[in-house]
Amino acid sequence: MDEHILLLVDDPREAQAIVTQLAAAGITAKVASPRDVAAAIRDCTLGAALLTEKMLDRYGIEGVTAAVEAQPPWSDCPVLLLTHRDYVPSTDRKAVMELANITLVERPLHTESLVTAARGALRARARQRKAQAVLEAHDAAEAQVRALAASLEARVIERTSALTTEMQQRALAEVRLRESEELYRLTLDLNDQIAWSAAAGGAPLLVGERLYEVTGLSFEKFANGDWSSVAHPDDLALIGEVWERAGTVGAAFDVQFRVRRGDGNYRWVRSRGAPRRDADGNVAQWYGTVEDIDERHQAEERYNRLQSELIHVSRGSAMGAMASTLAHELNQPLTAIANYVRGSRRMVGALTGDGVAGVLDALGQADASVIKAVEVVRRLREMAAHNQDQRRAENLPDLIREASKMALADAGVLEIAYKIDLDPSATTVFADKIQIQQVLTNLLRNAVEALTPNGLRRIGILTKLVGDACVITVRDTGTGVSPPAAPRLFEPFNSTKLAGLGIGLSISRTIVEAHGGQIWHEARPGGGAIFRFTLPCAPVARQPAATPAHH
């Protein structure tokens, strides 16, 4: 949208001067009536409004108040009010200024201050519209996920019902096979799935007539081994491996691969088979089905992409919430750099033999601070850019320390004491480092937000080896989780906080379960909350024991 500013100015010459000054700075401004300004604020069709005191008193107080109150939740239209230095708002003006997003611009008016205020207002408006677009995209993604989930559930029910029916029909056909083979063939042909049977050694005995419709192969060509010509070349090895393994041990199999249809296009199919054994337990015959699952396969891929995007959005939301924390963490090393450089300049001015060593030491300290700042930026960039599942053996203590350092960077300022207590046996996990750091960051920031100003402000991070899994625990002394909210804690879009999307714990559960682990909540005796999750251990050599860390 081409953002512009509407003017409500009592002096036409002043209004024209303002339009000219803003135009010179590349900002579009138009003179408008009080009604037009109020309507534009209400309908969110302008970037900002510029009013004078007289026009606000004469026309704008009630109109601006009503228009501001009528804005949608995302909108907070900036208003620039031209005033004199000794301007004292009336009672009505104060009410408007408390309600609206008003910035005072003092007279006499200077071009630089006017342009700066206008650009600031337009930038604020642009951020509002960007936030609106993100919310709309999120709502659309949420609706699509719900639709996909409903569709998949319906398909599961449909396929389960179809499979049950087919199995019943197949069992009945086996009983009546000797009496009516023709009836058996008809039953198979009427089914959506293509049924087949094969001898104990794998030679085809019977294939549904629809096989020719799908692949263009006749039964004779299929029986002679030409079926491999319609399978995707990349899937031939998998098909051969599955069939060889099933034939060797006489076990049921279930495999998915691509088949070329008669029109030349490939589609995903699912082939399942199971043996029928004779009285001695030997495989007498194979029975199975081939099912077209191309639409389901594509739906699952779309669902997985959406889930990956949602995890990325959640990570971006978490980084946005931590912006002030990261700014504080960067401010310390950058301030130190400035101090060391200034000190070095002073020492260079009065350089002596000892002064050289002092300069080198100060520059060395500055270099260390630069490295610290670069490390903060590296961690932030790594988390923001990561969007692929990259699981490998990771050092659990290092992973926890790095996540804690980022998530709890403001612990000292907030007067929060935290302790890392690591089990020396729980050293290596098989995980995606960035995704698990996202889980830890979410749990730790939740713990920080749960702490009360006047209460005990402590957070603990613990690990423990249990069987072939590592249990990671985050506990706090905050307000805890109310019993009514606990059962729905990990459901998507369910939040116990006034602000937030309510997807942090849901995304955390998705990540942990995708790693083969579990995540759960426990009430902490004496107040607070405990969150635990498990990760599979990686089969690597044990590392040296870790010692507890206090902060």
The model's pLDDT over 466-499, given as tens digits with 9 standing for 90+, comes to: 999 999 999 999 998 888 888 888 877 655 554 4
The single-letter DSSP state of residue 537 is B
Are the CB atoms for 40 and 4 separated by under 8 Å? no
Q: What integer is the mean pLDDT of 6-16?
A: 89
pLDDT at 544: 44
pLDDT digits (tens, 9 = 90+) for 74-98: 888 898 888 876 665 655 556 556 6
**What percentage of the chain carries pLDDT values higher than 90?**
18
List of residues 6+ apart from 4 with CB closer than 8 A: 27, 28, 29, 30, 46, 47
C-alpha distances out from residue 323 to 167, 281, 406, 442, Å: 58, 67, 11, 14
Is the per-residue pLDDT at 187 higher than 70?
no
Of residues 269, 250, 273, 272, the one with CA closest to residue 260: 269
Does the predicted TM-score (pTM) go above 0.75? no
pLDDT for 512: 93
Alpha carbon 317 to its chain centroid, in Å, reads 8
Pairing relationship of beta strands 549-550 and 417-421 according to DSSP bridges: antiparallel
Report the 10 Å Cβ neighbour count for 527: 14
Please give the CATH superfamily to which domain 176-292 belongs: PAS domain (3.30.450.20)
Nearest to 152 by CA among 256, 300, 255, 309: 300
Please provide the CATH number assigned to the domain covering 5-134: 3.40.50.2300
Task: Report, at the CATH architecture level, how domain 295-388 is classified.
Answer: Orthogonal Bundle (1.10)
The answer to whether residue 169 scores a pLDDT higher than 80 is: yes
Averaged confidence pLDDT in the chain:
79
Burial 122-145 (b: 16+ CB within 10 A, else e): bebbeebeeeeeeeeebeeebeeb
For the residues 19-35, what does the mean pLDDT come to?
A: 91
Q: In the chain, what are the domain boundaries?
A: 5-134, 176-292, 295-388, 390-550
Q: What DSSP string describes 342-384?
A: HHHHHHHHT--HHHHHHHHHHHHHHHHHHHHHHHHHHHHHHHH
> In this structure, what token pair is assigned to residue 162?
């179809």
Q: What is the pLDDT of residue 188?
A: 59
State the Cα–Cα distance between residues 92 and 63, nearest whole angstrom.
Answer: 12
Rounded distance between C-alpha atoms, residue 327 and residue 330, angstroms? 5
Contacts of 456 (CB under 8 A, 6+ apart): 477
- Superfamily of domain 390-550 in CATH is Histidine kinase-like ATPase, C-terminal domain (3.30.565.10)
Q: What are 108-141's pLDDT values in tens digits?
A: 888 898 999 989 888 988 888 888 888 888 888 8
Residues 6 or more apart whose CB falls under 8 angstroms from that of 439 comprise: 508, 511, 512, 519, 533
DSSP helix/strand/coil, 314: helix
Per-residue pLDDT tens for 273-329? 899 998 888 888 988 888 888 888 777 777 666 556 555 555 555 555 455 455 555
pLDDT over 60 at 266, yes or no: yes
| 297: Cβ contacts below 8 Å, ≥ 6 apart | 256, 268
Cα–Cα distance between 352 and 539 in angstroms, integer?
A: 58
**Contact present, 459 and 478 (Cβ < 8 Å):** no
- Residues 408 and 460: their CA atoms lie apart, in Å, by 11
**DSSP labels, 404-441:** HHHHTTTTTTTT-EEEEE--TT--EEEEEHHHHHHHHH
Task: Label residue 203 by pLDDT band (50, 70, 90).
Answer: confident
Tell me if 64 sits within 8 A of 92, measured CB to CB. no
Tokens of 551: 């902060």
Q: Please report which confidence band the pLDDT of residue 372 belongs to, taking 50, 70 and 90 as the band edges.
A: low
Beta-carbon contacts of residue 270 (< 8 Å; ≥ 6 apart): 254, 255, 256, 290, 291, 293
Domain 176-292 in the same topology as domain 5-134: no
CA distance linking residue 201 with residue 468, whole number of Å: 40
Q: b/e for 464-486, b at 16 or more Cβ within 10 A?
A: beeeebbbbbbbbbbebbeeeee
Cα separation, 58 vs 37, whole angstroms: 14
- Residues facing residue 229 across a β-bridge: none
Q: Check residue 64 and give left, alpha or beta (phi > 0: left; psi -120 to 50: alpha).
A: alpha
In this predicted model, what pLDDT tens digit does every residue of 42-84 receive, in sequence order?
Answer: 888 888 989 887 777 666 566 777 888 888 888 888 988 888 7
